[in-house]
Amino acid sequence: MKVFAAMFFFSALVMAAMAEAPFVRIGRLDPQLHDRALVRTQGTVIDALPDEVDPRYDILLLKNAESVLSVTLPHVPDGHASLLDAQVTVRGTFHKVTDGNRNLSAPYMNAHAESNVAVVAEAAAPFDAPELEIHSYASAIDVQRLGKRRTTGTVVATWRGDHFLLCTDTNRMMTVQLVKRGELPQPGDRVTVSGYPETDLFHVNFAKARFTSATSAAPEEVVRRLNGAAVPVAGVCSRRNGTLYFNSNFQGQLVTLRGVVRSLPALGNADGRLNVECGELLVPVDTSTHREAENALTLGCEVEVVGVCLLECDNWSQRTVFPHISGFAVVVRGADDVRVLSRPPWWTPGRIWAVVGVLGLAMLAVLIWNASLRALAERRGRQLLREQLEGVKANLKIDERTRMAVELHDSLSQSLTGVSMEIAAADKAGDNLPPAMRTHLDRAERTLKSCRDELKNCIWDLRSQALEEPDMTQAILKTLQPHVSDASRIVVRFNVPRSKLSDNAAHAVLRAVRELVVNALRHGDAKTIRVAGALDADALRFAVSDDGKGFDPDDHPGVLQGHFGLQGLKERAKQFGGSVRVESAPGEGATITVTLPASATTPSPVGVS
């Protein structure tokens, strides 16, 4: 509660401070003086867009005279598009650099909430702006202070999905950058453009602009200029004293060039430019809005290109006081502006070397393939030999266990049967035996019967091939098969590979599971029995649970009553250094969990006895 109260108090202080924040013009905001200060400022919203780095915020571009300021606001579904071209007052915190994932970027203002943006003047219709009029003595600052203006002209060329070159009705060439990418006008279209004037000190351009169709006809002077003959591209630039100079009068001029294609646009290249070698010049040709012009082109072919000259120059800003022309490109107006004159010969030096390289790689691949086949054959041979040795060992184990099972059955089993018959005969002949002697005879008979059952299981284990199963789940099901008539009553999920257990451990697990399942069926009247097991870093754990009638772990028949199951299980686990946990209660089923140390159950490494 105190935390919420403190946050509310802090927010109230911030809002109160904002209400009293001093007014500072955008151009007067000083990164050193006003960093993290609460201020107010005013300007026209020239763009509103979502923050691509942090989707929780939107960004407003606020313009006043020659300056532009970025303002962040909490995101809304329309991205604050309703504020475009409106004059607003903003209160917020000024920062000299952008926080978060943008490093060393421009200053910005955080407005914190919608309530800190107030509309001073609603946005006028996009094309209700005053007509653009530029005097010959106007400076770059004067141009940027004009605010939104409009002009009418003829489209000369388009590129990049959001730029086009316009020849105004006053016979000026103007680069127009649209607010967003979308449908562009076609060369020759008459349009009216509304935007914010900027200058590169050679021409006046429009930024954040929109356009609409115009019905008026172009002046004759403009028509003569646009229909003039193409001039050689060589006149665009000249080299003097090692420095390249550009003629700014070529902006928008129709030029022609003839040369060899040296590079094609990369896949997904937004610039969509190819390079044509024309004498000493490597001329970029922009096909971004007419990609079909590239379809017939290949590297090395000779082409003739007719297009509009575009001089590349940044607009003036306070950071770029003297922008200069950095280069030029030829923008095609359609697929017919690029004509293939000749194709390169197929057997070029590059292709010859490529074929030689491919043949060399093919020979190297054949050698590597032969070496890998030889290594694979040797590895498969060793693997087959190991498998055959394992098969021979398994067969020897089976033969030895079968021999022992026959000997046990022919000797010990018959002897136990004879002893059992003698005890039964003595019990029937001694009608007047003392009660204590009859009790001992009954106990001896039950014990002997248990021994015979255990011997029977041992003989079955020796004959069974369950130990050879690679899956312990299948080994358990095969072990339980002679004792369970309805296999659907048993659910086994033993997630331990057979290869992770030694023969003694696997045999102990199978015998323990069989003993517990048989007891659950015979003494617990269980309907469903679940067997689960897993092996972790330090122990092998498995459990048998049933839904039978259960028993009292502290008071149940034991060795004295001829029941050796749990006692035998505990002794077997003790041989491995393990333990047995019994969880049961009358009427609630039973769960017996056996834990064996992993060190005592895993097989010995090869070569270690």
Q: What confidence score (pLDDT) does residue 412 get?
A: 58
pLDDT of 394 over the 70 cut:
no
pLDDT of 211 over the 90 cut:
yes
Q: SS3 for 344-404, per residue?
A: CCCCCHHHHHHHHHHHHHHHHHHHHHHHHHHHHHHHHHHHHHHHHHHHHHHHHHHHHHHHH
User: Tokens 């257990």 — which residue?
Assistant: 501
Bigger pLDDT: 446 or 511? 511
Q: 510 is written with which tokens? A: 């199978």
**Helix, strand, coil percentages, rounded to 5, for the chain:** 35, 30, 35
**pLDDT tens per residue across span 262-283:** 988 865 555 668 999 998 889 9
Q: How confident is the model at residue 452 (pLDDT cuts 50, 70, 90)?
A: low
Q: 523 is written with which tokens? A: 């003494």
Query: Which residues, listed in sequence order, are joined to residue 67 by a DSSP beta bridge?
Result: 64
Q: What is the mean pLDDT of residues 106-118?
A: 89
pLDDT of 496 over the 50 cut:
yes
State the number of CA atoms in the 13 A half-sphere of 450 facing the CB: 18
Tell me the CATH number for domain 468-609.
3.30.565.10
Burial of 109 (0-12, 13-18, 19+ CB in 10 A): buried
Q: What is the mean pLDDT of residues 239-260?
A: 90
pLDDT of 459 over the 60 cut:
no
Q: How confident is the model at residue 454 (pLDDT cuts 50, 70, 90)?
A: low
Q: What is the mean pLDDT of residues 28-48?
A: 89
Q: SS3 for 48-85, per residue?
A: EEECCCCCCEEEEEEEECCEEEEEEEECCCCCCHHHCC
pLDDT of 164 over the 50 cut:
yes
Bigger pLDDT: 185 or 66? 185
Q: What torsion, rounded to 10 degrees, do the Cα atoms 381, 382, 387, 392 define? A: 100
**pLDDT tens per residue across span 295-311:** 888 888 999 999 999 99
pLDDT of 187 over the 70 cut:
yes
Query: Which residues, listed in sequence order, are joined to residue 531 by a DSSP beta bridge?
Result: 492, 544
The domain segmentation of the chain, as residue ranges, is 2-121, 140-342, 347-463, 468-609
Q: What confidence score (pLDDT) does residue 332 get?
A: 94
Q: SS3 for 502-553, per residue?
A: CHHHHHHHHHHHHHHHHHHHHCCCCCCEEEEEEECCCEEEEEEEECCCCCEC
Q: How confident is the model at residue 386 (pLDDT cuts 50, 70, 90)?
A: confident
Backbone Cα Rg of the chain: 47
Tell me the CATH number for domain 140-342.
2.40.50.140
User: Tokens 């990164």 — which residue?
Assistant: 31
pLDDT of 212 over the 60 cut:
yes
Q: How far is CA 141 from the centre of its chain?
A: 48
> Is 211 in a helix, a strand, or coil?
strand
Q: What is the mean pLDDT of residues 41-54?
A: 85
Whole-number percent of the chain with pLDDT over 90? 30
Q: What confidence score (pLDDT) does residue 446 get?
A: 65
Q: What is the mean pLDDT of residues 427-433?
A: 63
Distance CA 444, CA 561 (A): 10
Q: 368 is written with which tokens? A: 């590597």
- Angle made by CA atoms 278, 282, 286, in degrees to the nearest 5: 100
Residues in the chain: 609
pTM score above 0.75: no
Q: What confidence score (pLDDT) does residue 431 get?
A: 62
- Angle made by CA atoms 310, 315, 320, in degrees to the nearest 5: 130
Q: 287 is written with which tokens? A: 């096909």
Q: What confidence score (pLDDT) does residue 486 get?
A: 80
Whole-number percent of the chain with pLDDT over 70? 79
CB 209 within 8 A of CB 179: yes
Identify the helix (H) or strand (E) that includes residue 164.
strand 163-168
Q: How confident is the model at residue 4 (pLDDT cuts 50, 70, 90)?
A: very low
Q: What is the mean pLDDT of residues 235-257?
A: 89
Tell me yes or no: is domain 2-121 CATH 2.40.50.140: yes
Bigger pLDDT: 609 or 217? 217
What integer best gives the mean pLDDT of the chain? 82
Same fold, 2-121 and 140-342: yes
Distance CA 19, CA 71 (A): 18
User: Tokens 């009247």 — which residue?
Assistant: 525
- Through-space distance between the first and last CA atoms of the chain, rounded to whole angstroms: 70
